[in-house]
Structure 1
Amino acid sequence: MRKSFGALLLVSLASACLSACGGEPESPADGQSAVGFVFVGTNHNNTHDAGEPANQVTVYRRFADGSLELADHVDTGGQGSGPSARFAGDGLGSSHSMVLSQDRAFLLVTNAGSDTLSALRVRKDTLEVTDVQPTSDGAGPGFPNSVTQHGDLVYALNGAGEGSVTGFRLSDEGKLTPIPGSTRLLSANQASPPDTLFNPAQASFTPDGRQLVVTIKDGPAAGLIGGVTPTGPSRVLVFDVLDDGQLAQTFTQTELDNDGPFGFSFDAAGHLLTAMFVGGDDLAGAAGSFQINADGTLTPITRNAKVSQLDPCWLENNGEFAFTANYTSGTLSSFRIGDDGSLTVLDEQAGLTDERAGTAGASQQGSTPLDLGISPDGRFLYDVLPGSGKVGAWRIEDDGGLTKIGEYGGLPRTVDGDRAPEERFGPGGSPAGIGVL
């Protein structure tokens, strides 16, 4: 199987981390030895009940067959958002709300409820907070919901108000030092807190670190949903990264016809692969692929690889195949990646969650699949399921098919359906964000 960018490096780094972090964890009853970890953010907010935890990361041991075992819950030192006012199962409306550093030594986690960013050192079976820093820089209302890192450079995305990105330097000790003058506004036209149907969704460096890409959903076109007015045309913004770590003062904007660009990843050649949650027919979704040009413009490769699934919002790839998590349908879709970055639909329902929307006996909400993570060797796919309070696991076959391994509890289960609170922060957790080691 062809591996994604840096996958072989990550395999050796994962092994090194297990050794450096104190050796392999104790084996479960069946005698397996852990080969890595999976980290999932709870996005928990305890504003309504001080007896509840604030934001945490749930730690799972990962075994050679792809199965998981709950190991720990670690406080981030900040507050999550809890359920959003529109979607109970998706409090952030974003992708990459937490990421592992390239050397796998640190986990970076956004705290949307306290407008902060946490750095946590990866330890044996657990994590240790090394720093917590504010993200808004006084330039806006904050609500950090995505983070990215390249070398010692870190940028956080603030999704409320006009939206912004702001930069930090990450030290070998896990300290985050704000970069003076690094904040750039996005003209995102959002509320505070943002409505998760519209808000900025992800900020990520390109694989070479020379550009920073931001997606803004903006919502479906006017008239498609009653009472919904989009906040823009659906946008992808590209900033140049300067030698001093700051971003260019202005960005290059590509408009995508209100198709809702959301979570994205890059293939081995650096092509942008993005989920578009309303890019299909009759409010169904799609995935698209683009060449990012030196001037920040995008050249479409596959403009819309349409699926019949509702709300494909998160997209990750292993270099050969890409997968979307489909929030409302409770499914995963698969795509083949061509050498030129093109996308071809393989299976619209490649992965099924145990509890799906519209399934007899299921709750109104269903499993609400969110963030996806792929193991460093490209063989296993993991999905955060806040509607059921679990993590789903699948083996990726050589032909791109998905074989279900299981679903593993340990996350807070979000409140049912779209009965989310109307206030700033909802009670309880709304799990989001995943890192796989």
Structure 2
Amino acid sequence: MQRSRLVRVGLPMLAAVATSITFAVAPGLARAAGGGGLVYTMSNAAAGNSVIAYTRGSDGTLTANGTYATGGTGTGVPRLGSQGSVVLTAGNKLLLVANPGSDDVSVFAVAADGTLTLTDREPSSGDRPESIAVRGSLVYVLNTGSPNNISGYTLDSAGNLTRLKGSIRSLSQEGALPAEVQFSPDGRTLVVTERNTSRIDTFRVNPTGRPTDAMPHDGSGVGPFGFAFRSDGLFVVTESFNGVDGAAAASSYTLNGGFRTVSGTVGDTQSDVCWAAFSKDQRYVYITNNGSGTISSYTVAADGSIALFQAVAGVTGAPGGFGTRDLDFTDDFAYVYAIDVGTLTVNAFRANADGTLTKLAAYGGLPSTFAGLAAS
């Protein structure tokens, strides 16, 4: 479910854009038969990027479902320093994939059985696209190289991207090494984390879908990376602290009434943090620790303050190993999947009502360069 959690809700402010191109979702979700779903990652291979597909059974098991060329290329380097390089749209009808080697974005139509058909591939208007945000018919791509910027597109129901003129915006500075772009729950703000500057940029989105210039804010800790929104506009940001052993952490912020820090840095005792995702009831948030090969969990109070719940809520590799990165919940929040770039596996967990995770299985055979994750 790697997408904005609230993209299912229409965005009235985009009426001017949607007049010519509306994002229609056909009845029913694209999902595997038998009450299951779909899981996608990408190879990120320099010789040719491809999507690696799985179908998910109702019990959380995964079955390989083909490999699909994006038409672009990856970096050919193990892992990407980003969250959101593979993204499903609302209804799971389209899949968007960043090609950071060829500086473009591919779009696939998703069939009911999870098979993919390439529908479009468009330049990203920058260097090394690694994160994609989708809100209705509006798409923004984060270019992490030089120049580093965000660029906007409209997306129709057939899977065609059209560049939104006048939508390219620079980040707070060059060399910011950004990690993720995402829409706020109300769709009126774009948020970008910058690892090198330890800033969090916000961009107000006007009724035509175009953003303001970047408004940079100081993050609480060093190296803000991935983040996840709660439905009320609170968001939890992971802090990598440049991979220092035992320094991984998270902090929380709100956009209500302007940008404001709610909880400063709260450590998880692990190393080199990456992605973040909320539970169904939004009382827990889970973050991955690449340097430790683990998943940590935090409780999230009504006021948005966070506290460490389990330093090790899940393990994706060998004890003391490394590699846990991309993480995503299924649409029903019953299962969590996380990739491990050390063991080259996709790991399946059951999400329990008490906030704990139960490891189910690990699925191997992935290429050493693979990255990104989206589940339904």
Alignment correspondent of 1:238: 202
Amino acid at match of 1:39: Y
Which one of 305, 326, 346 corresponds to residue 309 of structure 2? 346
Whether the 8 Å contact between 2:30 and 2:110 is mirrored in structure 1 is no
Whether the 8 Å contact between 2:30 and 2:114 is mirrored in structure 1 is no
Deviations 1:348-402 (A, max 9, x none): 011012334x4xxxxxxx4511111001111211101122221011111111111
User: What is the TM-score of this pair, normalised by structure 2?
Assistant: 0.89
Using a 3 Å threshold, how does the CA distance of structure 1 residues 268 and 399 change in structure 2: closer, same or farther?
same
2:46 aligned with 1:39: no
Whether the 8 Å contact between 1:188 and 1:200 is mirrored in structure 2 is no
Alignment correspondent of 1:215: 193
Deviations 1:144-195 (A, max 9, x none): 01000101000100001241000100011110000112111114332xxxxx
User: What is the TM-score of this pair, normalised by structure 1?
Assistant: 0.77
Amino acid at match of 1:82: G
Which one of 329, 336, 351 corresponds to residue 396 of structure 1? 351
Separation in 2 of the partners of 1:243 and 1:7? 16
Secondary structure of 1:433 counterpart = strand
Would you identify which runs of 4 or more consecutive aligned residues in structure 1 move more than 6 Å? 279-282
Deviations 1:303-357 (A, max 9, x none): 122111001111111222111110010111011121222212111011012334x
Alignment correspondent of 1:116: 104
Amino acid at match of 1:170: L
Amino acid at match of 2:143: N
Secondary structure of 1:118 counterpart = strand
Deviation at 1:103, TM superposition (A): 2.8
Alignment correspondent of 2:119: 130
Superposed, 1:163-312 pairs within 5 Å as 163-190=148-175, 199-218=177-196, 232=197, 234-248=198-212, 250-256=213-219, 259-278=222-241, 284-294=247-257, 297-312=258-273
Separation in 2 of the partners of 1:330 and 1:403? 16
Separation in 1 of the partners of 2:231 and 2:242? 24
Whether the 8 Å contact between 1:217 and 1:258 is mirrored in structure 2 is no
Separation in 2 of the partners of 1:165 and 1:350? 34
User: Per residue, is there more strand in 1 or in 2?
Assistant: 2
2:71 aligned with 1:77: yes
Deviation at 1:280, TM superposition (A): 10
Whether the 8 Å contact between 2:245 and 2:272 is mirrored in structure 1 is no
Alignment correspondent of 1:315: 276
Structure 1 stretch displaced more, 165-174 or 268-277: 268-277
RMSD after superposition: 2.3
Higher Cα Rg, which structure: 1
Alignment correspondent of 1:16: 28
Using a 3 Å threshold, how does the CA distance of structure 1 residues 157 and 411 change in structure 2: closer, same or farther?
same
Amino acid at match of 2:294: T
Separation in 2 of the partners of 1:185 and 1:288? 25
Secondary structure of 2:92 counterpart = coil
The answer for unaligned runs of 5 or more in structure 2 is 10-24
Superposed, 1:81-96 pairs within 5 Å as 81-83=75-77, 89-90=78-79, 92-96=80-84
Using a 3 Å threshold, how does the CA distance of structure 1 residues 344 and 435 change in structure 2: closer, same or farther?
same
Identity of aligned residues (%): 35
Whether the 8 Å contact between 2:220 and 2:251 is mirrored in structure 1 is no
Whether the 8 Å contact between 1:373 and 1:382 is mirrored in structure 2 is yes
Using a 3 Å threshold, how does the CA distance of structure 1 residues 410 and 17 change in structure 2: closer, same or farther?
farther
2:57 aligned with 1:63: yes
Alignment correspondent of 1:224: none
* Count of aligned pairs: 355
Whether the 8 Å contact between 2:268 and 2:311 is mirrored in structure 1 is yes
Alignment correspondent of 1:431: 370
Separation in 1 of the partners of 2:306 and 2:353? 17
